[in-house]
Structure 1
Amino acid sequence: MGIFIKLGWYFKREWKTYLVGVFGLLLTALLGIVPPWIIGHLVDAIHKHSLTVQQLVTLLVTLTVVSLAQYLARYIWRTAIWGESAKLEAVMRERLFWHYMQMDTEFFQHYRTGDLMAHATNDLSAIQRVAGGGILQFADSIITGGTTLVAMMLVVDWRLTIIAILPFPFLAVMARVLGKKMHNAFRKSQAAFSRLNNKAQESISGVKVIKSFGQEEDDVAEFNGQIDETIEINRQVNKLDAMFDPITTMIMAVSYVLTIVYGGHLVVSQTISLGELVSFVSYLSMLVWPMFAIGMLFNTLERGNASYDRIANILNQHSGILDKEDGVVKGPHGDLHYAVESFTFPDEQDENLHQIDFTIKEGGTLGLVGQVGSGKSSVIRLLLRQFDSYQGAIYFGGVDIRDYQLDALIPAIGYVPQETYLFSNTIRENIRFARPDASQKEVEQAAAKSDLADQIQTFPAGYDTQVGEEGISLSGGQRQRIAIARALLIDPELLILDDALSAVDAETETEILQTLRAERQDKTTIIASHRLSSVMNADEILVMRDGQIIERGSHDQLMAAGGWYAETFNMQALETSEKGGQLNG
């Protein structure tokens, strides 16, 4: 019953509606007492040859009215209980999704997408069944079972009732023994479903890579292996679950035998009439559902309890990024001073950034270059407040970025990563994702700044072109330029291009960078790139290696120094000339 306690916050909030539902169940149970009583009277009247037409009509009319009343009572409890269970699922789903939106990068590195999806689907459905079917099974087993037992004792005979329910304590023993085993089994089952869900999600997302390397058979074999594992775990669950119904049936069968034997004796001794015995058997048959409901109840509760614990574990996770309630609410404006002494990613031991210090004047441009793994993206991730656990400070407009409220800081930053994510929507809606109220003219202006407007006009549907899942219908360069247009649409104080021009050609790159220099003379820009032509016009260029700055200066200064930057620039220039291209300078 622990899950009912865990959901107590919701039951307290919606107690009025649940009270109406329980009242409907009580009314249904009380009305259910009448038909067996009517049948008993009919049997006695027929047995005594005293049944009259008037009596028959009266009993049949009464039976009809009771049936209609039961229909109304069932409608009341179904609407109340099932309606509230659906509302609980909506509340939990909204709470979980909002929690996902508030969590930091570390959280999503720890939990895989398929696992989070399983929490938001399978686990929430199990909890919803507790608030619906669980409440029904719990209340109905008590109410229907209790009212039926009272009717059996008052309407027929209390001694026969005691004899009939002698086997029932064995049901409680069975529930206690199997309940603990089922809880552990259900936890394993839900975890197996999460793993299977994650595998399916990864395989579908990576189907292009799987096919390009001809790994279809190996991936299918791995997927089938996880299916077999999940089936085996669920088979163990089903074995435990399957024990409830047969044992309940055996207990009810023993009750019927005792009723027939002892009840027959009472009829022969004329302690009760034949009609009363028939009524008693009808009442006993009404106890079949409460007995089975108890078995179903433990199934529902244990599954819901396991799922609630899994979701509670997620909701109890806290973001490492603290949004100060008394933080600065005005967006940043001014110089950017980056002074990070040390930073290490969570769960890692080696330092990722060391003594990174630079200043970008308002309206200036900074270039970040270096080999893969040199720390360029780490520098940017701290600016985006994906991590706050570093030694030092980052000042934007003279204020530590950790002192800004997130709603003030994040909208002031336009970020374009190398791996662009587009939504399954139109080009227009993808561009104005950050500003849903942007006009068509503003969307077109942003597209023009990213050198994409002319290509969009060639599409049959123009800005209404559907990009497909993750922009699958567009080229890599087109996806990157849509992302750049999306960032430019909000006219950010700080624009960050994280290797965001890697998929466009040199000519398009030049057009975009020239537009940015002209349009953003009073706004700050950071360009991280492997292609040095992207940063050669920056006010300052930082060359990074192993999380440290090994060279810094303007393009001319770095070329004169003859270090890594100069060697790499000359090598890229040679490669470009060999391909018939021209390095922009």
Structure 2
Amino acid sequence: MLKEFFKRYWWTYLLGSFFLIIVDLLQLIVPRVIGNIVDALKVGLNDISALKLSIISIFMIALGVFMARFFWRILIMGSARRFEYYSKKILFEKLLSLSPSFYDKTRVGDLMARFTNDVRAVRMAMGPAIVMIVDAIFLTSVTIIAMGTMVDWSLTWIAIIPLPFLAMVTSFFGKMIHNRFKSVQESFSDLTDTVEESVSGVRVIKSYGIEDLRYETLKKKSQDYVNKNMRLVRVWGMFFPLIQLLASIGYIIATFYGGRKVILGEITLGEFITFTAYLGMLIWPMMAIGWVINLIQRGRASYKRLLDILNRESEVISKDPVAAKKLQGHVIIRDLTYRYPGSERVVLDNISMEIKPGTKVAIVGTTGSGKSTIAKLIARLYQVPDGKIFIDGIDINKLPPETVRENISYVPQETFLFTDTIKGNIAFGIEDDEEERIVKYASVAAIHEDIVQFPKGYDTLVGERGVTLSGGQKQRVAIARALIKETPIVILDDCLSAVDTETEARILSSLVNSTEKKTIIIISHRLKAVRDANVIYVLHDGKIVGHGTHEELIESNELYRRMYERQLLEEKLEEE
């Protein structure tokens, strides 16, 4: 990431450093001018014009410093801000490209911490740290040369005695700062994740009355963050005073020996004032070394955390990709055995099924039998072994994930709506938002009548994650959002659990009648709603234990018959 950024913006840092060096050079002139004024005043001025000229020159130098400082801030600090934008853009693009298995193992709070604190730490290393490095190297070198050539070399060597000790101190503290800041960032990730979970699940927390328990959890996370920050502050708090102490020792030595040289007449008072001014300028880069080490080590720790994301590869990849734009919807699964990444448990065991184009196929079964896993694999959300799933005769691993998803409308169990209007949520999957299309598919999903009852109709804001809608309404908006894509394959993964049986049957019937030549895959625990499916597959413990029409399964499959009879009995009891 840094390499690509510097390839593009190296010239801004180079030009900014040039203006920074101009500032440093101009600042070196002022002490010499002041020293000359002091010496001139000491012997007496015959012509006041010389003093006026010196004052004007100081003013012009100040003006030059102002202009040069403005440009280096725009160039260097501006580039650091560009990096902040660039890094967040690259990170977001990377997150969009990663497979769901990454999010199964990564906390949202941790990702947010990397987008905020870590990016900021790297930006500081790309901006203020660069300025301090240039200052520390150039200003130190030029100031020492100016002190020696314009005043006295022996006094200069004595004054810079603390510099080697300064280098040893920064090396010692640098590694400690790096490790402790990394620990601080990890603790911040934990804290951010806890806050995000608490806010997202505030209704659950209140309904269970566990506000105090959640408060204690957050308190522990906050205290851990404070403790790790204090460990860093203790090192930091010792580091900078020690740097100042070493810098001040040089100042004390120079004052002692320089004052003695003035008394002995080896240097003039003006030269001594010039020397002390230069020494004062030398203290800043000596202190800046401490800031640089702190910023660089923080930036390094954060950059490693960013690279940890950027170096991740999506587990869903295409081998020898085949160009295919429009699919017909013929799905074949052959002897598929599947385990989720990082797990040894077999979720699907030797599964085989054929879903012909334009048919309605239902997948039912017991809880945890692998129904949703089949839907996720067909939608290419997870990588599958080669030669196990085919769409239109092409191995799914040879189809780019984008191609598969462009041809599949998938509605998962967990309904997610964006903080937008109902209209915006339904039109999310398309480039335009034609009112007629939105109303059409809202009607298919049996949500149109509900929407028009709202005061603002389709312009009603649904709130975060659709909180202002009921569970059934959210599910039906999600179905409308999927259907408006008009894809050849539609997968409904138990996404009507929050609506009544009659509404579910009406939606499925409307879906079949309004989507000719579409392959419809329905995963449902309500057998009554899928009785009219062309084929029904029954799963149990990851295996297919039967398939056929509703009537065939009632006659031949005991598990299906028991499930159906139990559901009929439950409905009858509810009516009574």
2:183 — aligned with what? 188
- What does 1:183-582 align with in structure 2 at a 5 Å threshold? 183-324=178-319, 326-390=321-385, 392-561=387-556, 563-580=558-575
Q: 1:103 aligns with which of 83, 98, 108?
A: 98
Describe the SS at the equivalent of 1:290. helix
Q: 1:139 aligns with which of 134, 139, 144?
A: 134
**CA displacement at 1:389 relative to structure 2:** 3.4
Q: 1:148 aligns with which of 133, 143, 159?
A: 143
1:32 — aligned with what? 27
1:81-125: per-residue Cα shift (whole Å, max 9, x none)? 011111112221111111111111221112111111111111111
- What does 1:37-116 align with in structure 2 at a 5 Å threshold? 37-50=32-45, 52-116=47-111
Describe the SS at the equivalent of 1:203. helix
Amino acid in structure 2 at the alignment position of 1:388: Q
1:5-29: per-residue Cα shift (whole Å, max 9, x none)? x845433432211111000110000
Amino acid in structure 1 at the alignment position of 2:51: L
Aligned mates of 1:392, 1:18 — CA distance in 2: 52
1:3 — aligned with what? none
Superposition RMSD in Å: 1.5
- Check the 8 A contact 1:42/1:275 in 2, yes or no: yes
- What does 1:13-24 align with in structure 2 at a 5 Å threshold? 13-24=8-19
**CA displacement at 1:346 relative to structure 2:** 1.5
Aligned mates of 1:323, 1:289 — CA distance in 2: 56
**CA displacement at 1:161 relative to structure 2:** 1.0
- Check the 8 A contact 1:364/1:521 in 2, yes or no: no
Q: TM-score, normalised by structure 1?
A: 0.96
Amino acid in structure 2 at the alignment position of 1:418: Q
- Shift in alpha-carbon separation, 1:434–1:325, aligned structure 2, 3 A: farther
Q: TM-score, normalised by structure 2?
A: 0.97
- Check the 8 A contact 2:447/2:473 in 1, yes or no: yes
Aligned mates of 1:8, 1:434 — CA distance in 2: 35
**CA displacement at 1:51 relative to structure 2:** 6.1
**CA displacement at 1:202 relative to structure 2:** 1.2
Amino acid in structure 2 at the alignment position of 1:358: M
- Check the 8 A contact 1:267/1:277 in 2, yes or no: yes
Amino acid in structure 2 at the alignment position of 1:89: E
1:40-80: per-residue Cα shift (whole Å, max 9, x none)? 11211222222642112111110110000000000111010
Q: Percent identity?
A: 38
- Shift in alpha-carbon separation, 1:257–1:191, aligned structure 2, 3 A: same
- Shift in alpha-carbon separation, 1:514–1:51, aligned structure 2, 3 A: farther
Q: 1:176 aligns with which of 142, 156, 171?
A: 171
**CA displacement at 1:502 relative to structure 2:** 0.8
Aligned mates of 1:324, 1:91 — CA distance in 2: 30
- Shift in alpha-carbon separation, 1:318–1:552, aligned structure 2, 3 A: same
- Shift in alpha-carbon separation, 1:231–1:254, aligned structure 2, 3 A: same
Describe the SS at the equivalent of 1:414. strand
Aligned mates of 2:311, 2:462 — CA distance in 1: 37
Amino acid in structure 2 at the alignment position of 1:66: I
Describe the SS at the equivalent of 2:341. coil
Amino acid in structure 1 at the alignment position of 2:569: L
- Check the 8 A contact 2:422/2:458 in 1, yes or no: yes
- Check the 8 A contact 1:340/1:391 in 2, yes or no: no
**CA displacement at 1:562 relative to structure 2:** 5.5
Aligned mates of 2:46, 2:134 — CA distance in 1: 38
Describe the SS at the equivalent of 2:538. strand
State which drifts further: 140-149 or 158-167.
140-149
1:186-229: per-residue Cα shift (whole Å, max 9, x none)? 11111111111111111111111111111111111011111111
1:140-172: per-residue Cα shift (whole Å, max 9, x none)? 111222222222112211111111111111110
- Check the 8 A contact 1:340/1:390 in 2, yes or no: no
Q: 1:158 aligns with which of 150, 153, 168?
A: 153
- Check the 8 A contact 2:386/2:395 in 1, yes or no: no
- Check the 8 A contact 2:320/2:398 in 1, yes or no: no
Aligned mates of 2:393, 2:243 — CA distance in 1: 73
1:321-363: per-residue Cα shift (whole Å, max 9, x none)? 1135742232321422122431111221121111211112211
- Shift in alpha-carbon separation, 1:147–1:219, aligned structure 2, 3 A: same
What runs of 5+ residues in structure 1 fail to find an aligned partner?
1-5
Describe the SS at the equivalent of 1:320. coil
What runs of 5+ residues in structure 2 fail to find an aligned partner?
none
Aligned mates of 2:392, 2:537 — CA distance in 1: 21
1:535-569: per-residue Cα shift (whole Å, max 9, x none)? 11111111111100112111111112361211221
Describe the SS at the equivalent of 2:575. coil
State which drifts further: 99-108 or 70-79.
99-108
Aligned mates of 2:190, 2:402 — CA distance in 1: 35
Aligned mates of 1:542, 1:24 — CA distance in 2: 73
Aligned mates of 2:46, 2:112 — CA distance in 1: 65
**CA displacement at 1:391 relative to structure 2:** 6.2
Aligned mates of 1:518, 1:298 — CA distance in 2: 69
- Check the 8 A contact 1:499/1:528 in 2, yes or no: yes
Aligned mates of 1:165, 1:399 — CA distance in 2: 74
Aligned mates of 1:428, 1:404 — CA distance in 2: 32
- Shift in alpha-carbon separation, 1:562–1:345, aligned structure 2, 3 A: closer
Aligned mates of 2:79, 2:557 — CA distance in 1: 72
- Check the 8 A contact 1:331/1:409 in 2, yes or no: no
- Check the 8 A contact 1:35/1:63 in 2, yes or no: yes
1:473-496: per-residue Cα shift (whole Å, max 9, x none)? 001111011111011101111111
Q: How many pairs align?
A: 576
